[in-house]
Amino acid sequence: MEPRNFSSPDANEKSREARLNKLRERRTKAVTSNSEAVPRPMVGGDSRPRLLRDSTRSPDPIIDPRFDNRLENKVKPLPNRQGKIEARPEPRTENRPENRTEVRTRKKPTNRPIPIKSSPAKSLGWQLLRLAIAGVGLSVIAGTALSFWQTQQLTRAKAVVPEAIAKEDPNKTTQEIVPLSLKTEAIPLVNKIKELAAKEKDLSMQMMVVDLDSGAYVQIGSNQTIAAASTIKTPILVAFFQDVDAGKIKLDELLEITPDVKVGEAGDFQFLQTGTKISAITTATQMIVISDNTATNMIIKRLGGVAALNQRFKSWGLNNIVINNQLPDLEGTNTISTQDMVTLLAMIDKGKLIEPRSRDRFMDIMRRPITNTLLPKGIDEDARIAHKTGDIRSVVGDAGIVDMPNGKRYAIAVMVKRPDNDQRANELIRQISRATYDYFLAGGKLPANNNSNPTSTPDASNATNSNSSSTSNNTPPTNNANPANNPTNSTSTNAGSTSVIENIQLPLPNSTPSASPRLSPNTP
């Protein structure tokens, strides 16, 4: 169905006639312009024809086929608003001549990169530059990752330090063993000591002394084992501070007096009630200062027992230091050798085995024993000594480090086997101490007026044993020496108070105490 035309028929017809008239005028102008142009021969051999206007030629109309179809009055009837059918021209179709050249649009040139031929050297240089840049980038990434990883590891390590330290192998300290630096044997001193020992045929003496600076030494039977008595407490104290350095023991932690560690003989902890708790540093101090056997057993238990300590001593290279029984060990089953004791003291002096802070504590405690009747009697008052004695009925001895006024230092250990509690052994140790001190004080020479007698000899009351000698000069023990603040023959109910032990007043180094603690016989 054709669409309706709602315009008036007169208007449509007029507009159609106007368009046809315009077309006719255009056609007439075109025909007139074409008729006036005729071809004209070219001058100079140009064979291309030129159009010339000829006025005599009749103006034949030239019909352009493009306008041919427009002149045909081909219309289709269209209904108008009144229902009449009016003509409508057909759609125009253009007939283009076959010989007409088509106008082609020029394509815009694309901006493609022009390949540049480069030499192999330049290409290799660019490749190397790219690799260098890539390497720098990878290095930055790897460095950042490693830094982050290290930070995480440090944080994790700080969190597990106590556990890691607790699992440390005690054999770790083996690499810290420093052998004694023995350079020159002090022949004059050797002869003097042998002369002193030869006077007592029934005494068996072994000793060793080493100048810690020059390496001059004397050793007589020093590698033979002998009963240790209380001198075994010195390596125990070293092991204690080694665990303090490792974080296994805290100085202020409380150790409990249990029935399995509570023993008699020397010391005042035996008078405290079972279950009393005492700080670790106080316990270790009393083990040396008053040679408390109960305190020693408490430290041994806290360090892991006898087997663990023996393994520790072997890791230090000290094979002759062995604990076989708890203190007081009156039978003499625990053993040492004077060579091992001097080696241990020399390692401590050189800063091995324990840290500097613990070394200072060790030396301070070792300068405070109240029993100063052996090696200290052979040195001058202005000299200092850090030592520990040992005394049972069959053996007596002393081992320590002497710091002389002239700056020289030597480590010495003297042990003497004797008949039942024979005090001649004590006197022999004092004579050896005096001869050694005079020799090093004189710069490696024995003085001409050396009488081999110590500056101060013990009283006749010291003729019983070393334990009684420490008490015979101070018969009634005072409150300063008794942690329980009780008289000698009193064991009040207040003896179990922890504060009593913590408030104990200890004597200054190398000072003669006003009173000694209550000691039982046969124990240093």
Tokens coding 219: 């050793």
Distance between CA 255 and CA 118 in Å, rounded? 85
Distance between CA 141 and CA 325 in Å, rounded? 62
Strand partners for 217 = 185, 210
Confidence (pLDDT) at 503 = 33
Distance between CA 287 and CA 284 in Å, rounded? 5
Residues 372-408 pLDDT 10s: 999 999 999 999 999 999 999 999 999 999 999 999 9
Distance between CA 56 and CA 219 in Å, rounded? 159
Residues 404-456 pLDDT 10s: 999 999 999 999 999 989 999 999 999 999 999 999 999 888 877 655 455 44
pLDDT of residue 348 exceeding 90, the answer is yes
The answer to whether the CB of 436 falls within 8 A of the CB of 408 is: no
Strand partners for 409 = 403
Strand partners for 412 = 209, 400
Confidence (pLDDT) at 128 = 84
- The CA dihedral of 369, 355, 254, 391, to the nearest 10 degrees, is -30
pLDDT of residue 220 exceeding 60, the answer is yes
Tokens coding 450: 């050396």
According to DSSP, residue 4 is labeled P
DSSP per residue, 89-130: EPPP-----TTPPPPPPPPPPP-PPPP----HHHHHHHHHHH
Confidence (pLDDT) at 111 = 61
Place of tokens 């493609």: 112
351 phi/psi in degrees, rounded to 5? 85, 20
The one-letter amino acid at 400: G
Distance between CA 524 and CA 290 in Å, rounded? 8
According to DSSP, residue 219 is labeled E
pLDDT, mean of residues 501-507:
36
Tokens coding 313: 């001593």
Highest mean pLDDT among 76-80, 347-351, 467-471: 347-351
Higher per-residue confidence, 26 vs 284:
284
Report angle CA 219, 221, 226 to the nearest 5 degrees: 125
Distance between CA 321 and CA 348 in Å, rounded? 16
Spatial CA neighbour of 287 closest among 328, 338, 252: 328
Strand pairing class (50-52; 216-220):
unpaired
pLDDT of residue 157 exceeding 80, the answer is no
- The mean of the pLDDT values for the chain is 75
CA distances from 161 to 252, 355, 365, 477 (A): 20, 17, 29, 46
Helices 356-366 and 280-289: crossing angle in degrees, nearest 10, is 40
Among 93-97, 145-149, 192-196, 249-253, where is mean pLDDT lowest?
Answer: 93-97
pLDDT of residue 113 exceeding 70, the answer is no
78-85 contacts at long range (C-beta below 8 A, 24 or more positions apart): 78/2, 78/5, 79/2, 79/4, 79/5, 80/4, 80/5, 80/9, 80/12, 81/4, 81/5, 81/6, 81/7, 81/8, 82/9, 84/9
pLDDT, mean of residues 72-79:
52
pLDDT, mean of residues 288-316:
95
Higher per-residue confidence, 349 vs 85:
349
The answer to whether the CB of 282 falls within 8 A of the CB of 249 is: no
- The CA dihedral of 151, 153, 156, 162, to the nearest 10 degrees, is -120
Confidence (pLDDT) at 41 = 53
Contacts (Cβ under 8 Å, ≥6 apart) of 121: none
For residue 328, whether the previous peptide bond is cis, meaning omega lies within 30 degrees of 0, is: yes
pLDDT, mean of residues 185-195:
94
Q: How many CB atoms lie within 10 A of CB 241?
A: 24
3 phi/psi in degrees, rounded to 5? -70, 150
